[in-house]
């Protein structure tokens, strides 16, 4: 077994212990309890990921009028799928890195607006040995990793009409811009509900697999429940979204116009500075295809936690795994730095 996973885990352990030490010593930590904050759980795949689906951070706890929040996401996903069925042959082997700036603003008593600006890059990457060690540690299936060489880039798809996708050289560019809105359905309390809306503009490029070159519209319901359990440390959330996709610039004859998505999860406030989380997401098939990754529902599990660095800054660390193998990226690692306004008395009521 390669020493690389051991070295990486040692580095991660030192970072976590350092952050924990900071948290225990920081004069800001005792001022406010760690609030429930769902983790980003979007699909970061070569084809499905370029369509901007809602994710679980689009929730029901909206900003008050005049308040601003921001986030900076870094996510790297590893793909390892080699499959064929009838006249279809697909290989997704490589890594996708997403850097994304998110902004939210409270417009009125019930309305919140936001946007997301992503940058995507596809490359051969160098996570294969780390992920092999991860799979060995938890007894997870390796899929096509067991038969293909490490650290390659090949995103290809062929059907009866010929080659439909072939990316073998690293490529990157800004992706599709997503505009968001939330409408609060209640006045507050432990159970918050909101209607969520999204509009994606085709600012990315199909040539570099950074955008679908199609307009996407989403609508859904978000719920966030706080103060569960005898000690109030447990929180939960649920999301239900329906997405309409205009004709995309890739696999247009196979893409499905309507896609549904459900998500739910729990968080546990271990201390005033640490929250641990686990959540699951189910998405219906994105294409008419006999292949699992395109023509069957995707199921992913995301787990990790939130570390409060100060009154206004929170660091989220998470790992996403395709528990339905070959339905989404094999493994995704993410770090998100969030800026949040200090809670007012009104927000706590």
**Cα gap 218→103, rounded to integer Å:** 18
Locate 51 and state its tokens: 């369509």
**Cα gap 199→180, rounded to integer Å:** 6
Q: Is the pLDDT of residue 144 over 70?
A: no
| Residues 61 and 308 sit within 8 Å (Cβ to Cβ) | no
**Cα gap 177→119, rounded to integer Å:** 10
Q: Give the pairing of strands 216-228 and 234-245.
A: antiparallel
Cα distances (Å, whole numbers) of residue 24 to 13, 27, 109, 275: 16, 8, 36, 14
**Cα gap 190→185, rounded to integer Å:** 13
Which one-letter DSSP state was computed for residue 326?
A: T
Domain housing 254: 4-76+97-118+173-348
**Cα gap 264→328, rounded to integer Å:** 18
Supply the pLDDT for residue 34. 59
Percent of the chain with pLDDT over 90: 67
Q: What mean pLDDT, rounded, does the chain reach? A: 86
Q: Is the pLDDT of residue 12 over 50?
A: no
Q: Burial, 109: exposed, middle or buried (Cβ in 10 Å; 0-12, 13-18, 19+)?
A: exposed
Q: Where does the chain have alpha helices with state H?
A: 4-25, 128-138, 292-295, 345-348
Number of domains in the chain: 1
Query: What confidence tier does 5 reach under pLDDT thresholds 50, 70, 90?
Result: very low
Largest separation between any pair of C-alpha atoms in the chain = 64
| Residues 310 and 341 sit within 8 Å (Cβ to Cβ) | no
**Cα gap 286→199, rounded to integer Å:** 18
Q: What's the mean pLDDT in 1-23?
A: 44
Q: Is the pLDDT of residue 45 over 50?
A: yes
Say if 92 falls within a structural domain: no
What pTM does this model have?
0.83
Which stretch of 18-22, 72-76, 231-235 has the lowest confidence by average pLDDT? 18-22
Q: Is the pLDDT of residue 29 over 60?
A: no
Query: E strands, 150-245, where?
Result: 154-159, 162-167, 171-174, 177-184, 191-201, 216-228, 234-245
Supply the pLDDT for residue 87. 92
Query: E strands, 309-345, where?
Result: 313-322, 331-339
pLDDT tens digits, one per residue of 225-249: 999 988 889 999 999 999 999 999 9
**Cα gap 318→337, rounded to integer Å:** 12
Say if 141 falls within a structural domain: no
Supply the pLDDT for residue 140. 61
Query: What confidence tier does 18 reach under pLDDT thresholds 50, 70, 90?
Result: very low
**Cα gap 141→194, rounded to integer Å:** 38
Please indicate whether residue 348 or residue 166 has the higher confidence score (pLDDT): 166
Residues in Cβ contact with 160 at an 8 Å cutoff, skipping those fewer than 6 apart: 87
**Cα gap 107→64, rounded to integer Å:** 7
Say if 333 falls within a structural domain: yes
Say if 151 falls within a structural domain: no
Percent helix / strand / coil, the chain, rounded to 5: 15, 45, 40
Which stretch of 30-39, 46-55, 197-206, 313-322 has the lowest confidence by average pLDDT? 30-39
Q: Which among 119, 211, 206, 212 has a CA at the least distance from the CA of 166?
A: 206
Say if 105 falls within a structural domain: yes
Locate 287 and state its tokens: 């294409």
pLDDT tens digits, one per residue of 275-292: 999 999 999 999 999 999
Say if 87 falls within a structural domain: no
Say if 154 falls within a structural domain: no
Supply the pLDDT for residue 117. 97
CATH of the domain at 340: 2.40.160.40
| Residues 43 and 62 sit within 8 Å (Cβ to Cβ) | no
Neighbouring C-beta atoms of residue 303, cutoff 10 Å: 15
| Residues 142 and 134 sit within 8 Å (Cβ to Cβ) | no
Say if 147 falls within a structural domain: no
């Amino acid at each position: 077994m390669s020493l690389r996973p051991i070295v990486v885990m040692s580095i991660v352990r030192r970072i976590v212990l350092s952050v924990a030490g900071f948290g225990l010593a920081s004069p800001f930590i005792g001022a406010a309890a760690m609030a429930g904050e769902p983790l980003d759980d979007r699909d970061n795949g070569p084809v499905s990921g370029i369509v901007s689906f809602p994710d679980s951070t689009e929730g029901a706890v909206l900003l008050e009028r005049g308040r601003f929040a921001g986030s900076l996401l870094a996510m790297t996903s590893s793909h390892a799928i080699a499959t064929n069925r009838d006249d279809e042959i697909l290989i997704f082997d490589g890594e996708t890195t997403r850097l994304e700036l998110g902004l939210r603003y409270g417009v009125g008593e019930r309305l919140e607006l936001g946007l997301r600006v992503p940058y995507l890059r596809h490359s051969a990457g160098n996570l294969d040995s780390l992920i092999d060690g991860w799979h060995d540690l938890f007894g997870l299936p390796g899929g096509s990793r067991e038969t293909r060489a490490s650290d390659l880039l090949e995103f290809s798809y062929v059907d009866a009409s010929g080659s439909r996708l072939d990316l073998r050289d690293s490529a990157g560019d800004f992706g599709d811009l997503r505009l968001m809105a939330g409408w609060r359905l209640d006045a507050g309390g432990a159970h918050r509900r909101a209607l969520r809306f999204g509009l994606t503009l085709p600012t990315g490029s199909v040539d570099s697999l950074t955008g679908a070159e199609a307009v996407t519209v989403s609508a859904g319901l978000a719920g966030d429940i706080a103060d569960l359990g005898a000690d109030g440390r447990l929180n939960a959330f649920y999301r239900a979204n329906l997405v309409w996709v205009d004709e995309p610039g890739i696999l247009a004859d196979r893409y499905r116009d309507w896609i549904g998505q459900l998500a739910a999860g729990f968080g546990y406030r271990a201390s005033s500075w640490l929250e641990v989380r686990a959540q699951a997401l189910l998405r219906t098939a994105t294409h008419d295809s006999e292949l699992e990754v395109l023509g069957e529902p995707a199921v992913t599990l995301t787990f990790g936690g939130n570390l409060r660095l100060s009154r206004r800054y929170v660091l989220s660390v998470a790992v996403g795994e395709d528990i339905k193998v070959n339905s989404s990226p094999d493994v995704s690692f993410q770090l998100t730095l969030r800026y949040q306004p200090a809670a007012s008395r009104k927000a706590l009521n």
